[in-house]
Structure formats: structure tokens, C-alpha cells
Chains A and B, each alone.
Chain A
Amino acid sequence: MAEHKTKYDRQLRIWGEQGQAALEKASICLLNCGPTGSETLKNLVLGGIGSITIVDGSKVEEGDLGNNFMVDESCIGQSKAKCVCSFLQELNDAVKAKFIEENPEELIKTNPSFFSQFTLVVATQLVEESMVKLDIICREANVMLIFARSYGLTGFVRISVKEHTVIESKPDHFLDDLRLNNPWPELTRFTETIDINVPDPVVHKHTPYVIILIKMADEWAKSHGGCLPATRDEKREFKEMIKSRMIAIDEDNYKEAIDASFKVFAPRGISSSLLHVINDPSAEVTSNSSDFWIMVAALKEFINNEGGGEAPLEGSIPDMTSSTELYVNLQKIYQAKAESDMLIVEQRVRDILKKIGRDTNSISKTKIKSFCKNARKLAVCRYRLLEDEFNSPVQPELQKYLTDDDYSIAVGFYVLLRAVDRFVTNFNSFPGQFEGVMDEDISRLKATAVGLLNDLGCNSSTLTEDLINEMCRYGAAELHAVSAFVGGIASQEIIKLITRQFIPMSGTFIFNGIDHKSQLLML
């Protein structure tokens, strides 16, 4: 156990014991174990994923030794799935590693129920037809799915999950929840017990900025008909007012107050993104609703009633210049309010559960507590079915990408990555896969891509000859460095999906290995 903790220390600091436990419970299925798939799994196995099942029907060839670290000389002629599996097992004996020697495309066709046993399927190097089929299978079975593909100096990663909800989104920079523009009675009362105009310089410079700002805001409101500073001039005047109360130039707490004064000017109430979440149709709960949406329903009630337009208080405060005593007392006041807000939400959760006929204790207090603490940062991600995207991409977005210079290579690759799959259907090989027919392949790929663009209702002139040539030059090569990049991204997104922490990517990530101007396309 101690060893487990030490070994995973650097990642436990990111996703904690809970995130780690989720990873250790997860079972992952990989389709095709070329370098893209192998590198994806490698990153997960090192991190202690529960189990992996590798599906690949091919044998190791000489060429595989030039791009896949998981196979070596002794593997030639053997099952690739078996060889990759045994190397990955070597990386971490806590992981249950299995392999199935079978062609994934066959498996998709003949045994769709196979996939329902997994937490997540990662499908690499599949052509469009198989992707579309697998997507429908996994969507119905409620299994998370992620596609990854490396192709020359390009590639893509695409998540396909009906709905992914995140409580612990852990954003990097998020405005703290201090309510300086809207203090609750206990905080106001506490502030009133403190005299910020004390003559003692040591006490004066150790009054936390939270108290200074609440006092100043109150003072301002009294002389401005109850309003807080709103215009640029008023804001400047407010800062000047704070500055005028300094009694020495080294008072860090006052400098912090001036820097934090924007927190007083911030509008009250919830953000537009939270508003979006509580107004989501799923917040109208039924007996089939998930715990997340039941808690959102309770949150919505809280905001509209006890919260007075605000979410439950987060309860933590940032470090600030202060005496220890004032800081600790202030912390307790914030925590107490967070606790009482949480109890109200909890009661509402229990009431809702009762109303929809579920066990009132089926959502734990710990979960509700975490939900309340993160209420301002909730995230809901939804992904279109691949089939829908392919048949009817979001036109305004597509048009924007086709005409925007920043997107021209990325959207070109998007179209060409689809075109090469049509190409393979028509000509039984990828463009440029074999020597000697390059010129022919270039004109065929061009015709295919133009046809595809026409099907999508787009002007085909946007696709450059250079990029079409480039795509043929790649000849479906799976370069190791590109695979490591694409696989790295796929594994990182998988970690986010499984731990339910942080926010997974949306849209389709198109890797641009030419100048690294990769893009997310929201189609």
C-alpha cells in the first residue's frame, strides 16, 4: 500500500485517491495495437488502469519493428496483440492484461455485444465504415468510446459519449467565491466587529482584504443609494478610497484589497454557463435521471429560493495577508455558511429522490458535499453520433473553417482523412500506400475529396493541391512520433473520462504535424 502510494505519488497529486480508484476499476478495450494504440495503452498501464483487452488480428511484420516499441525481433510472425499485451504487462503487474487475436472490423460486424463489458473502448486506425458501426454499438450499450488515428503527419482524436457530466472540473484559474459584492448576514456581522481604522500599525496591516473590501463596499453603497461601483470612474474612485486608508506604504493587505477590488464590482448571481446547466432539459428529473441531474435539480431549487440567485457557497478562501486569528476566524465563517448551504441542498436532494420514487439515501452526503463545493464549475459534455457528423456536419462551423486561414490545414486534413477511407473502399489501398502509382493516386484522391466536399455541400476549391499531394506522400504511414502524440492525447482524454475529473475535449482534434497548428473542429 505504501509502495502504491509512492509509485503513484506524482499523479495522485493531480486526481487524488478517488480518481486513482476509478482508474483501477476501469476496463479498457483497445482495437488495433499499432503504435497509436500501443502508446495509448502504455500511458494508461503505467498509471495503473484496472484491465486492458487488446483486439488485433495481425501478425508482427518487419515494418512493425520500425514504429512500435512494444514488439521486437523475437515477435516476428507472432500475434501482434499477444506480443504487445505481454510487453505492457511487464510495465505494471497490477494491471490485468488480456488479448484477443481477431480482426476488430470483423468483431464489430459479427459480435456487437462483445463491447458492452467494457468501461471504455479505444478504437485506433479504423476506417469510417467501422467507426460509424462501432459508434452506434457503444452508444446503445452506454460504453464510452474514443477514436484515435495517426496518418503520416496528421491524425485525429474524437470522443463519442452521449453525455459526460463533471463535478470536479478543477479549472486552473477560477474566481474564488468570496461574496464581497453580496455578503450574507453572518459575514456582515463579523465584519462589523472589526475596526479597520485601528491606530496600531501592526493590527492595521494585518486586517485581511476581505474585511477591508466589505467595509469599503458598504461605505460606498451608503453614499451611492445602495449601489456598488459600476462605471470606470467609480471603480477608480473606489480604489483611491481604499488607498487613502493606508497608514504606511508597506501595507500588503491594502495592496491586495486594491488588486482584488474587481471582486466587489463583479455582477451578483450565477455565471451564464451554470445557468445553462440548470436550464438544461435534463434538470427536469424523472425516475431515470442520473444522480448528477438530480443534484442539479436540487441546486436549481436552491438558487431560486434560499440562495437568492447565488449557488451554494464554496467555503474556502485564498491565502491573504492577515493575522492568524482573523484569517482562521474568517475561514470558519465561510466554512459554516458552505455547510449550511450544503445541508439545504442535501434536504432538497432527498425530497426530490422521494418524489421520483428512489431511495432517499441513494446519493451519499459526501457526493452532495463535493457537488455543492464545485457547483459553480459543473460541466456537461455531449458528443454527436459520428454518423450524424459525417452526414450533416454543422454547416456554419464548416464554412468558417474552410475560409479561415488558421483552420485551412486542419480542415483540409479532416476532409482528406475521410477521403482516404472512401479511396480505400474504391481502390483497395490507401493513396500512396504503394510505390509507382503516385500521380494516379493524387488525381484519384483529389477526385474523391472533391466528391466528398460536394456531398457536404461545400465549395471544393478550398482544398489545396499541396495538401492533397502531402496526403498521398504519407501513404497511410503510422509514424512513431505522431502515434506517440496522438496516443498521448487519447490516453489523457481517457483519464479525464474515467476519473470524471477535468473537462474532456469537445469536437474532433485534428493533429497538424506540419507546423503544429492543430485545431478542434466542432462539427
Chain B
Amino acid sequence: MAKQISCSRSRDLDKLLLRSGNLVGPTFDPGTDLRNDLQEYAKVLVVGAGGLGCELLKDLAFSGFKNLEVIDMDRIDVSNLNRQFLFRFHDVGKPKAEVAAERVMERVNGVNIVPHFCRIEDKELDFYNDFSIIALGLDSVEARSYINSVVCSFLEYDADDNPREETIKPMVDGGTEGFKGHARVIMPGITPCFECTIWLFPPQVKFPLCTLAETPRTAAHCIEYAHLIKWDEVHDGKTFDPDDPEHMQWIYSEAVKRAELFGIPGVTYTLTQGVVKNIIPAIASTNAIISAACALETLKIASGCSKTLSNYLTYNGVDGLHTKVTEFEKDKDCLVCGPGILIELDTTISLKKFIDQLEDHPKLLLSRVSVSYRGKNLYMQAPAVLEEMTRSNLDKPLHELMDKCPKDIVHVTGAAGKSGSKQSCLRKLRVVFKVNDGVIDMDVANGA
């Protein structure tokens, strides 16, 4: 009886999963086993429970997946309600991940969604390794970059530097702004990872401080003056909180004063919020389109029921309707999805010295480094308990901590980048120990 109901419920999806076709993926094996495997074994993580995340959860729940998890650190705000359809007025203030999971489970029978109300960095790496596919519904470059580095850290290469298939964790990424958006498929090691094509996300333009201080010309200049200069001058040490309406009101009235002083038109409260919080306009329809494309690709990756997007879809509805698929190329020297940065070390070098080296390494410039090897924490900066537990390793030779393995992958996390714009990241290093005056032969190393 139960089986019959499930058959009937998947009336439409069954056509795609149970019937053979010629325009399908190479691994496609249609049948009820495929449908059952999707339900039982496929596990998808949705990162972000906002405009894209809400849609993704719904779309995936209707695309044959029964095991979903969602992670988001935010709480529901009134300004979410014009598009994040799983939330209502009375939900304002509650964690997005929890409400979203509950709403979809209420309406789609049989689907199980585990919510995680926390920062993406709060989870152990193993958490992410547990999923078959990770779908990203994010609005920040930093968060995408972080998840990308985590997923790429699972990737292993064989002796010929070809990616090991079982270590490839597919990612599907969506993004929107107003009437525009993109959806992409990332197969680490095969298609470009987020970092390979980071140039697709140009850094935000910032106004020079001297313009703000001396030659303001636009309303935005007056607002940023109040926000970045005047606030600190007036409020001794008190940090500005963009979510505090009183703070925002203060910025607004200061910006108005400055604009009047210089005869500059156009400062409004809405603009002030937009500039200070860098608000990206967002609507339901674009989120729906992009999420649907992402969910469809997730289904195709998991089932092979059709070809996969290769590999980047852009959508633009400003002037007519334009969609375009671009096949971007992988960056062979990518620090994140490549085989890893090669670091040659003496067998005598201590963990502490190794960590110091990473700070000066021109490609890494990592500070506050934590090190792990084969899932074991060698040194952790935080939390304090772990730091204390691992501190004694600092003076030991890294070679010994790695069980005298002559060549292996070491994962390091830390803050990368120049001061001022640091962001947390994860890097994969290929550590090779020098013996006497030469690098150990690879084949011998593998035998050890």
C-alpha cells in the first residue's frame, strides 16, 4: 500500500527516473532502484536559507530527495518576506534554517530536513564531507569561497595528478541580483571551482577616503562620510551596528547635514540603508528561476537522468530575456582545487616553524594557522580547550607528527589576505620531506 502511494506521488518524476532516454548522463540507470536510491542514500546540504535556500529546499524536496539538511546563521527579518516564501510575519526573529526546514516538512510528506542554525565555519570539515551534493544559496563571495575551499579539500589526486573520482564532491551554486542571476555546477578537479573563476565576482568599489573627507559629490559620498569617518569621531570606541535603527538614523541625519553643506541632492533614508548595508535588491521571481535551475542540476548529477549544465548559466531579464551557457575552463594552477601547493621541508622542522613559514609563503600569507593531518588536529587556534590540548605539538617535528610519512596532504586553516580584508580559508598542502639532498621518489613514498 505504502509503495503504491509513493508511486502515485512521484507520477511526474517517475517519467524521468524510470524511463530510458538517449539524451541522458553516462551513468543513467533508470528504474525503481534509482528512485529509491535517491530517496534513501542521496544526502544534499543546502547552504543558506534565504531567498535561494527556501526555494532550493522546496525544489529538492520535489525532485526525489528525502534527506536534506540546511545551514544558515541568520534570523528572519521583515524585509525577507517579499520573497522568502517559507516565512510569515509571526516568524520574524526566528532562525531561518529551523523555520524553513519545518515548513517544507509540514507540506512535503516523507522528506526529512535537518536544520543547522550556525555559521558555516562552526562546522567540522567532516560535516561537509557527509553529503553527496552541496547546493549553495548564498549572497556573499566570502561564504562561497569558504565552502568551495572546504569541498575542494576533500579532493584527492592520484599519482598521475588526476582527480580520484570518489573524492569529487559536486557543488551547485546560485546567485541573484535584481532581475539577473547565475547558476553553475562545480565538479572539483574537473570543472572550474569557485576560486578558478573568482574574477567573475569583481570586488566591491569603495570610495577613496579623501573623496569622502574633502570632495564629496554624490549622496553616497555624504552617507559614507557619516558612516566611515564621522561615526568614529563622535562615538568614542562604540562600534556602529547597521541593524540598530537609532544608529542608522544618526548616519542618515549626519549625511543630510553634510549634503546640505555641499549642496548635494539625493540623500534619503532608503539610500542610506542601501549604501551602509550594501543592500542587493532581490525579488521572488529571479530567486525562483535560479534555484530551479540549481535543483534541476542537483537531480541530474545525482541521477544522470539528463545531461549536466556545462558549466555556467547566466540569466538576465532587464532588457528582454537572455540566458547563456558558458563553459569556463579550470585553472590548472588553482590553489584551491589543484593538487595542492607543494611544500618541501626538512624532516627536522618543528610544527611551530612550519606554521611560521605559511605566514610568509607568497601564495598563502596565512595567519592564525591551525593544522590537521588525516583528520587529526595537530594544532588548533581555537577553541581554547583544543588549543591547550594541541599546544605541546608545536615543538615536535612535523615529520614525526605525520608518522614519518615522506609525502602527504596536510590541511591548514587560517586567515588569508592582506590586513583589513582577511577572510578565513582552508588550504591543502602537499608536504614532501627532503631526505639528505633529494626528494624521496614518489613510488617508494606510496609504498611506505
Contact = CB atoms under 8 A, between A and B. Distances in A.
Contacts of B62: 66-67, 69, 480-481
A485 B318 CA distance: 17
Contacts of A3: 78
Contacts of B316: 172
A495 interface: yes
Contacts of B12: 63, 66-67, 477-480
User: Chain B CB within 10 Å — which of A8, A66, A515 has the most?
Assistant: A66
The secondary structure that dominates the A interface is helix
Contacts of B178: 14
A7 B81 contact: yes
B106 to A, nearest CB: 8
A407 interface: no
Contact of A514 (B23, B59, B85): B23
Interface stretch (B113-121, B140-148, B231-239, B293-301): B293-301
A46 B281 CA distance: 15
Contacts of B283: 10-11, 14, 43, 47, 492, 495
A169 B16 contact: no
Contact of A327 (B88, B217, B274, B309): B217
A493 interface: yes
A37 interface: no
A61 B12 CA distance: 12
Nearest to A170: B318
Contacts of A520: 320-321
Interface string B8-28: 111111011001111100000
A466 B24 CA distance: 10
A1 B59 CA distance: 33
B217 A319 contact: yes
Interface string A300-332: 000000000000000000011111100110000
A484 B263 CA distance: 48
Interface in A469-484: 469-470, 473-475, 477-484
B320 A504 contact: yes
Interface stretch (A95-103, A258-266, A505-513): A505-513
Contacts of B5: 62
Contacts of B321: 489, 493, 504-505, 509, 520
A518 B63 CA distance: 21
Contact of B296 (A12, A485, A517): A485
Instruction: Give chain B's interface residue range (CB within 8 Å of chain A).
Output: 35 or more
B318 A484 contact: no
B285 A492 contact: yes
Contacts of A322: 215, 217
Interface in B45-65: 55, 58-59, 62-63
A496 B13 contact: no
B270 interface: yes
B294 to A, nearest CB: 9
Contacts of B206: none
Interface in B66-80: 78-79
A6 B79 contact: yes
Interface string B278-290: 0111111111110
Contacts of A48: 82
Contacts of A13: 270, 274, 279, 281
B217 A481 contact: no
A97 to B, nearest CB: 15
Nearest to B103: A69
B318 A516 contact: no
A432 interface: yes
Contacts of A323: 215
Nearest to B79: A9
A470 B21 contact: yes
B122 interface: no
Nearest to B273: A9
Nearest to A505: B321
A3 B89 CA distance: 10
B23 A466 contact: yes
Contact of B21 (A14, A63, A469): A469
A421 interface: no
Contacts of A171: 318-319
Contact of B16 (A11, A206, A479): A479
Contacts of A6: 78-79
A206 B215 CA distance: 9
B19 A481 contact: no
Interface string B317-328: 111110101000
B13 A477 contact: yes
B313 interface: yes
B218 interface: yes
Contacts of B23: 466-467, 470, 514
Contacts of A474: 15-16
B179 A432 contact: no
Contacts of B88: 90
Contact of B317 (A61, A469, A496): A496
Contacts of B63: 479-481
A482 B320 contact: no
B97 interface: no
A518 B292 CA distance: 14
B307 interface: yes
A91 B85 contact: yes
Interface in A76-120: 90-91
B61 to A, nearest CB: 8
A505 B289 CA distance: 15
A502 B179 contact: yes
A43 B285 contact: yes
B216 interface: yes
A65 interface: yes
B370 interface: no
A445 to B, nearest CB: 14
B292 A481 contact: yes
A63 B8 CA distance: 5
A81 B291 CA distance: 25
Nearest to B55: A484
Contacts of B32: none
B16 A328 contact: no
Contacts of B264: 324, 328
Contact of A506 (B22, B107, B288, B320): B320
Contacts of A63: 8-9, 11-12
Given A479-B13, A502-B318, A505-B320, A492 B179 contact: yes
3 shortest A-B CB distances, which residue pairs?
A: A63-B11, A488-B288, A480-B62
14 contacts: A6-B79, A43-B83, A47-B283, A66-B8, A72-B106, A328-B263, A484-B55, A489-B289, A495-B283, A503-B318, A504-B321, A505-B321, A515-B308, A515-B310
Interface of B: 5, 8-13, 15-16, 19-23, 55, 58-59, 62-63, 78-79, 81-83, 85, 88, 106-109, 178-179, 183, 211, 215-218, 262-264, 270, 273-274, 279-289, 291-293, 295-296, 299, 306-310, 313, 316-321, 323, 325
Given A66-B11, A153-B296, A473-B21, 5 more contacts: A11-B281, A47-B284, A66-B13, A327-B215, A492-B285
